[in-house]
C-alpha cells in the first residue's frame, strides 16, 4: 500500500506520546511497510481542517503483540475491548485506542464477532463511511486503501463503504451516524442509496440502547444546521415517533441562528424548542433517548423564565436572573428572539444586564419570620414568598428594615 498524498505534520502526529507509541509498534523490522497507522477521525479532521480530539491507531499486530511491545518500553495498556482487538495505551493523561486490523465474521446489528487480518484494504471494507477509511503515518503520508476517501473528503460527501444496506445491518446505529456525519462534515444533497437504506432499516433503531441513540442524536442537534438534517430524517421515517411539529422546527432554525450570532449555543435549549417547549413531548422523546439530569434541570429553568413576561425591560430581566439564573435567562432571550424572528433592539442591553448585574441576596429569611411570631408551616412560607415578591417588584431595593415592616 502506497501513500496517496502527504500533508504537513500535525501537532497530534508529533506529540511525544503519539510518537513513542508509533515508533514502538512500527519498529525497525518493517521500514518498507506500515505496521501502525493513525486512522479514522484524526486523519479525517486533519484533512478537513477540523479540530482533532481523539487519536486512534490501527495496526497489523495482534493485540497480544501490541501489549507486549508497549509493555517492554514501559507504556501502560488497558484491554478495553480485547474481544474486538482494541486496547488502550496510556501515557500520562493521554489515551490512545489501538485496534488490530479485523474482518467482521458475524454481526447482529449491535455487536460483531471479528477475526484479525494483516490486510489494510479488508479492514477498510468493514468501516462505515469512506471518509473514515483514511490512514496516516507519523510523517504525514496519507493512505487511501479504498481509493475513495480523499475524493469524498474533497467533495464533502458522506458515502457508505460498499453496500449501504449491508453496512447498516452490521450496526443499526449507523443510520443515525450517517445523518450526524452529514451534519458535521457533509455538504449538498444526501446520497440517495444511503437514504433508501436508512429508511428501510429505520424500524430497527428501537432495538438500540437509548444511550447510544442519545449520543448520536444530541450531536446532530448541536450541529450548525440541524433542522435541515432533521427534516430529511423525518421524511425518511427516522424517529418519527417524536412527532415534531413543523413550527417547532422553524423556531429551532431561528434559534440556532441567534445562538450562533450571540455565541450562546446550548443543547438543552435546542432540545426544549424541538419538543415544542412541552414536557409531555419530552416524555415521548425519552422513550428513545436518555436526557442527562442537568439537561432537564436547564429546561425547567427555561420554562420558568419563559413563563414570565417578555424579556424587554430591565426589571423583568433582573427578575428572571434572580429566580432562574443567568444562563437560563440568556437562553430564554434567544428563544424569544427566535419566536419573534426579528432582532430585538433591546437584546444587547438585556445581555449586558445578564452578564454584569450583581445578584442581590434577599435581606430576610425564615428565622426572621419566626422571630416575628409566625410559627413554622404554610403561613410562614407564604409570608416569606409575599415579602420576597414585594421586594422584587420594588427592584430589589428595600433593605432588611423595610422588609421587616412587611411582616404581618
Average pLDDT over residues 219-226: 95
pTM reported for the whole predicted model? 0.88
Do 306 and 277 meet the contact criterion of CB atoms below 8 Å apart? Answer: yes
H-only helix segments in 202-292? 210-221, 226-235, 246-261, 267-274, 279-285
Burial class (CB in 10 A: 0-12, 13-18, 19+), 43: buried
pLDDT band at 110 (very low <50, low <70, confident <90, very high): low
Instruction: Give how far the C-alpha of residue 305 lies from the chain's centroid of Cα atoms, to the nearest Å.
Output: 25
Looking at residue 30, what is its pLDDT? 62
How does residue 104 score in pLDDT terms, banded at 50, 70 and 90? confident
CA dist 78 to 63, 85, 222, Å? 11, 12, 32
Percent with pLDDT over 90 in the chain = 81
> Average of pLDDT values for 229-252?
87
Q: What is the DSSP letter of 59?
A: E
| 3-7, 175-179, 344-348: least confidently modelled range | 344-348
Among residues 177, 307, 297, 308, the alpha carbon closest in space to that of 233 is found at 177
Q: Are 400 and 364 in contact (CB under 8 A)?
A: yes
The pLDDT, as a whole number, for residue 342 is: 63
Residue 185 scores a pLDDT above 70: yes
pLDDT tier for residue 111 given thresholds of 50, 70 and 90: low
Residue 31 pLDDT:
67
Q: Is the pLDDT of residue 107 over 70?
A: no
Give the mean model confidence (pLDDT) for residues 360-384. 91
DSSP 193-206: HHHHHHHHHGGGGG
- Whether 84 shows a pLDDT value over 90: the answer reads no
What does the pLDDT look like over 41-72, one tens digit per residue? Answer: 999 999 999 999 999 999 999 999 999 999 99
Is 349:333 a contact under the CB 8 Å cutoff? no
DSSP 292-314: -HHHHHHHHHHHHHHTSSPS-SH
Give the pLDDT confidence score for residue 241 in this predicted structure.
78
What is the distance between the alpha carbons of residues 35 and 25, in angstroms, rounded to a whole number?
7
pLDDT at 266: 97
Question: Residue 406 contacts by C-beta under 8 Å, 6 or more apart in sequence?
Answer: 386, 387, 390
CB 239 within 8 A of CB 267: no
Cell readout for 156 is 464533502
Task: Give mean pLDDT, residues 1-29.
Answer: 91
What is the structure's pLDDT at 151? Answer: 97
pLDDT of 244 higher than 80: no
**pLDDT computed for residue 343 by the predictor:** 62
Helix, strand or coil for residue 386? helix
- Alpha-carbon Rg for the chain in angstroms: 27
Mean pLDDT taken over the chain: 92
Instruction: Examine the pLDDT at 112 and tell me if it is beyond 70.
Output: no
Where are the domains positioned within the chain?
A: 1-155, 366-405
pLDDT tens for 391-403 read: 999 999 999 999 9
CA torsion through residues 214, 298, 50, 101, sign: negative
**Looking at the chain, how many residues does it have?**
408
| All cell numbers assigned to 260 | 450562533
Number of CB atoms found within 10 A of residue 258's CB? 20
CA pair distance 300, 298, nearest whole angstrom: 5
Asked if residue 21 lies in contact with residue 89, where contact means CB atoms within 8 angstroms, the answer is yes
The span from the CA of 229 to the CA of 221, in Å, is: 9
Of 191 and 344, the structure prediction assigns the larger pLDDT to 191
Which CATH number is associated with domain 1-155?
Answer: 3.30.460.10
Average pLDDT over residues 15-40: 88
Q: Would you give the DSSP letter of residue 379?
A: H
Residues 6+ positions from 236 with CB-CB distance below 8 Å: 195, 198, 199, 202
Is residue 335 within 8 A of residue 306, CB to CB? The reply is yes
The larger pLDDT score, comparing residue 124 to residue 104, is at: 124
Q: Average pLDDT, stretch 225-250?
A: 87
Compute, in degrees rounded to 10, the torsion defined by CA atoms 227, 231, 232, 233. 100
Amino acid at each position: 500500500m502506497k501513500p496517496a498524498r502527504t500533508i504537513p505534520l500535525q501537532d497530534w502526529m508529533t506529540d511525544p506520546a503519539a510518537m513513542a507509541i508509533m515508533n514502538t509498534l512500527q519498529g525497525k523490522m518493517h521500514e518498507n511497510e506500515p505496521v501502525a497507522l493513525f486512522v479514522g477521525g484524526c486523519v479525517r479532521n486533519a484533512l478537513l481542517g477540523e479540530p482533532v480530539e481523539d487519536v486512534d491507531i490501527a495496526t497489523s499486530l495482534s493485540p497480544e503483540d501490541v501489549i507486549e511491545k508497549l509493555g517492554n518500553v514501559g507504556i501502560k495498556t488497558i484491554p478495553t475491548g480485547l474481544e474486538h482487538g482494541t486496547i488502550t495505551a496510556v501515557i500520562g493523561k493521554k489515551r490512545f485506542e489501538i485496534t488490530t486490523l479485523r474482518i467482521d465474521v458475524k454481526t447482529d446489528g449491535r455487536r460483531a464477532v471479528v477475526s484479525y487480518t494483516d490486510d489494510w484494504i479488508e479492514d477498510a471494507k468493514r468501516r462505515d463511511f469512506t471518509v473514515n477509511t483514511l490512514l496516516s503515518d507519523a510523517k504525514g503520508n496519507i493512505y487511501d486503501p479504498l481509493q475513495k476517501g480523499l475524493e469524498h473528503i474533497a467533495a464533502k460527501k458522506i458515502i457508505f463503504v460498499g453496500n449501504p444496506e449491508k453496512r447498516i445491518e452490521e450496526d443499526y446505529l449507523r443510520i443515525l451516524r450517517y445523518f450526524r456525519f452529514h451534519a458535521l462534515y457533509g455538504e449538498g444533497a444526501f446520497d440517495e442509496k444511503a437514504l433508501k437504506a436508512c429508511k428501510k432499516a429505520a424500524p430497527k433503531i428501537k432495538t438500540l440502547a437509548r444511550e447510544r441513540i442519545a449520543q448520536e442524536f444530541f450531536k446532530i442537534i448541536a450541529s450548525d444546521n440541524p433542522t435541515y438534517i432533521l427534516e430529511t430524517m423525518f421524511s425518511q421515517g427516522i424517529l418519527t415517533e417524536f412527532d415534531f411539529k413543523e413550527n417547532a422546527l422553524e423556531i429551532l432554525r431561528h434559534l440556532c441562528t441567534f445562538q450562533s450570532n450571540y455565541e450562546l449555543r446550548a443543547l438543552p435549549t435546542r432540545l426544549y424548542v424541538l419538543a415544542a417547549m412541552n414536557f409531555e413531548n419530552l416524555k415521548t422523546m425519552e422513550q428513545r433517548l436518555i436526557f442527562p439530569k442537568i439537561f432537564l434541570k436547564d429546561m425547567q429553568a427555561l420554562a420558568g423564565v419563559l413563563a414570565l413576561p417578555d424579556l424587554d425591560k430591565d426589571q423583568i430581566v433582573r427578575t428572571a436572573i434572580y429566580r432562574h439564573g443567568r444562563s437560563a435567562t440568556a437562553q430564554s432571550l434567544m428563544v424569544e428572539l427566535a419566536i419573534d424572528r426579528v432582532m430585538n433592539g433591546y437584546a444587547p442591553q438585556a445581555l449586558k444586564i445578564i452578564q454584569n448585574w450583581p445578584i442581590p441576596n434577599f435581606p430576610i429569611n425564615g428565622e426572621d419570620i419566626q422571630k416575628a411570631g409566625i410559627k413554622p408551616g404554610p403561613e410562614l412560607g407564604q409570608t416569606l414568598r409575599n415579602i420576597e415578591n414585594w421586594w422584587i417588584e420594588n427592584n430589589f431595593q428595600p433593605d432588611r428594615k423595610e422588609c421587616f415592616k412587611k411582616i404581618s
